[in-house]
Structure 1
C-alpha cells in the first residue's frame, strides 16, 4: 500500500468512511468506493487532488470546480441527477460524498455491451433530457454533457453527474473547456456564447453516440475534429429511429438560435414514452459489474434495504457553508 493511499484511508476513517477501492480518475479528481460506517451504506468519494500535487496556476481552477459542484448539487434535486451527501476539506484535499451508481456509465455500457435496445435507449435519452431540462429550469448550465457523465444506478436509471464546470445564471459565457468531441462549435470561437444552447449541442452529440456507438464528428486529431464540428459535417447513423433522428437534427445545428431547447426535447420524447420499464424483469441490459446485483430477488432485497435505511439528508447541506469552508482553507 502506497503512502498516499494510507494517508487517504486514515482521513476517510476519521470522517467515518472505509476506503474500498478506486473506481475512476480524472484531471483534478479521483473517485473511490467507500463504506459509510454510520449509515451502513456504500457511497462514492470524489477526492480532489492535494494542493501540493496541483500546479499553482491551477489551484484556483480546482477550488472553483469543487465549489461549483457542491453549489449545483446542493440546489438541484431531481430523480435523474446524482445526489450529494457530504463534503469536507482535510490535509489540503477536497472530499465529496456522492450517490453510488454500480452499473457504470453510458460510455461504459456501450463500450462493453454494444448497442442498447431501442426501448431502453429511449428511456435513457428521456431521463438524461429530463435531468438537463431540470438543470436549465434552475438556471444551471452543465458545461460537460457526455456519455461518461451519464451514470447508471442500481435500478438502471440515469444519473447526470460531474457538475464541476456547472454555472448558474449566465446567459453569456466565456468558459472554453470540456471534451472536444461533444463541444458546440461556438465554444471554439473563443467569444461569449449561450451556455444553455451549447449544452443542447452536447446533448445531441451524446444522443448520437448512444444511438450509434460513435461520436458524430471524427478526425485523425483534435484539430480535424474541431474543423468538422465548426462546419457541422456529420453523417446520420444508420438504423436510427425517426424520433431519435429528429433529436439529432434539431440539436446539432450550427446556429444556436435554431436549436431546440431542452423543454422542446423533453416534450418530443414524452410522445414516445411507453410504460416505465421495470428493472426487475428487464433482460435487455447486461450488468457491467456482475457481482453487484444478480437476479431480481437480489435487486428486490437491495431496494428494500435502501428504502428502509436511514440515509443522510442532502437537503441539510448549505451551499453558503462551502464559501465559508473555502475561505477558511485559503487563510
Structure 2
C-alpha cells in the first residue's frame, strides 16, 4: 500500500495509468492550477540495489530540458518512497498508437521519427544515453507531440560519449546485438560481424524507407548510421527541407512575467522576489506550480490559481 499522505491537499490522485517492475504511475490533478500530471511512485525497499538508478534518473531529468522529453516538475522523497511529478501525456504510448492503426503511413512515421531523433541527439549532446528506447517509452501529448520518458536505465559515460559502456540492460527486442551479448557498446568481438542479422522487410515499405532501416540495423556498429548523420538524412528531410533540429525549443528556467505575477500575488511578494525564490530550482511545489502555469499560458488557457486552496497551500509547503 503506497502512502500518499504527503501528496494530500497538493495533488488529487486519480487512476493508475502504468505499472513497471519498480514503479507505479498515477494520473493526478495539481490542485492550484488544475493541470493534470503523472506521478511516478517508487518504493525504496523494492528498488534494492537499483536505488542508485533513481538518483541518476532524477539527476538526468533535472539537467534535461527539451520539447520531446517529458518534463520533471517536482521530486518528493520520504523514508519509504520517491514521488516524481512529471508532465502528463494524454495521448498514451506510441506503441498503442501504432497497434491501433495496424501500421503508420510514411508521412506520420517521418514526423514521429524526426521527433525521436531530435530527442536522442539532444540527449547525446548533453552526455546521456537512454538505453531503453522503445515505443512503450515514448508518449504522445494532447497535440500528438512525442515525449521520451523513463530514464531509469540512462547513463552518463564518465569519459564522454566516446567512452564504452558495459551493462547489458533494456529490452532485448529493441536493443543492439552487441548490447544483448553483453559486449562493450560500439565494439564487436571478432567473428560476430559474420552473423547475418537477417530481418523481414514488409513489401509495402518504400525503397528509401528500406535503405534508411538498413543503415540503422547494421550488425557491425562501425557501419551503423550515427545519430548526427540521421539529423540530415534525406528521408527525414523529405517534405520538410531542413535537417532535424536537436537544440531545445523549451527552456525550463526561462522567466515568464505573467506567471510570476500570478504566483507573487498569492505569496504577497513582488514578482522579482518570487523569481529569486524560484531560481533556487528545488523541484518543489513552487517549481511545479510555475511550470504548470507556463504550460497553461502556452496552451492559451486562463492564468489563474484555485482561489479556494491558494492561501492554505502557500502557507504549508511540501
How far, CA to CA, are the matches of 1:303 and 1:242 in structure 2?
39
How far residue 89 of structure 1 moved from its aligned partner, in angstroms, is 1.0
Any residues of structure 2 matched to 1:228-247 within 5 Å, and which? 231-247=196-212
Separation in structure 1 between the aligned mates of residue 232 and residue 13 of structure 2, nearest angstrom: 42
1:187 lines up with 2:179 in the alignment: yes
Q: How does 1:1-331 map to 2 (within 5 A)?
A: 4=1, 7-8=3-4, 10-13=5-8, 16-51=10-45, 54=46, 58-61=47-50, 63-170=51-158, 171-194=163-186, 231-268=196-233, 269-274=235-240, 303-305=299-301, 308=303
What is residue 207 of structure 1 aligned with on the other side?
Answer: none
Residues 150, 161 of structure 1: 8 Å contact kept:
yes
Cα distance per residue 1:12-42 (max 9 Å; x no partner): 216x111011000000101100111123211
Task: Specify every segment of 5 or more residues in structure 2 that has no aligned partner in the other structure, as ranges.
Answer: 243-295, 306-318
When residues 151 and 305 of structure 1 are mapped into structure 2, their CA distance, relative to the original with a 3 A threshold, is: same
Q: Give per-residue Cα distances to partners, 1:115-167, cap 9 Å, x unaligned.
A: 22322211001101111011111111110010111110111111111111111
CA distance in 1, matches of 2:40, 2:133: 19
**3-state SS, counterpart of residue 139 of structure 2:** strand
Return the alpha-carbon distance in structure 2 between the equivalents of residues 179 and 245 of structure 1.
23
2-structure distance, mates of 1:273, 1:26: 38
The alpha-carbon deviation at position 190 of structure 1 amounts to 2.1
CA distance in 1, matches of 2:196, 2:207: 24
Contact 1:174 1:191 in 2 (8 A): yes
Residues 19, 25 of structure 2: 8 Å contact kept: yes
* CA RMSD after TM alignment: 2.7
Residue aligned with 1:46, SS? strand
Q: For the residues of structure 1 that align with 2:124 and 2:24, how far apart are their CA atoms?
A: 27
| Structure 1 CA distance for aligned equivalents of residues 86 and 147 of structure 2 | 11
| 3-state secondary structure, aligned to 2:8 | helix
Superposition misfits of 4+ residues, deviation over 4 angstroms: none
Corresponding residue of 1:288? none
Q: Which runs of no fewer than 5 residues in structure 1 stay unpaired?
A: 198-226, 277-299, 311-331
Question: In structure 2, the residue corresponding to 1:167 is in which secondary structure?
Answer: coil
Q: Call closer, same or farther: CA 1:40–1:193 in 2, change over 3 Å.
A: same
Deviates further, 181-190 or 95-104: 181-190
- In structure 2, how many angstroms separate the alpha carbons of the residues matched to 1:136 and 1:243? 26
The 1:302/1:20 distance shift into structure 2, 3 A limit, reads farther
Q: CA deviation at 1:48?
A: 0.9
CA distance in 2, matches of 1:34, 1:303: 19
How far the C-alpha of 1:263 sits from its partner, in A, is: 1.2
Q: Structure 2-normalised TM-score? A: 0.70
* C-alpha distance in 1 between matches for 2:297 and 2:61: 28
Measured in 1, the distance between the counterparts of 2:20 and 2:30 equals: 23
Could you state the TM-score of these two structures normalised by the residue count of structure 1? 0.67
* Native 8 Å contact 2:39 2:84 kept in 1: yes
The residue matched to 1:305 in structure 2 has which SS? coil
Q: Structure 1, residues 184-241: CA drift from partner, whole Å, max 9, x if none?
A: 110133232239x9xxxxxxxxxxxxxxxxxxxxxxxxxxxxx9xx641211122113
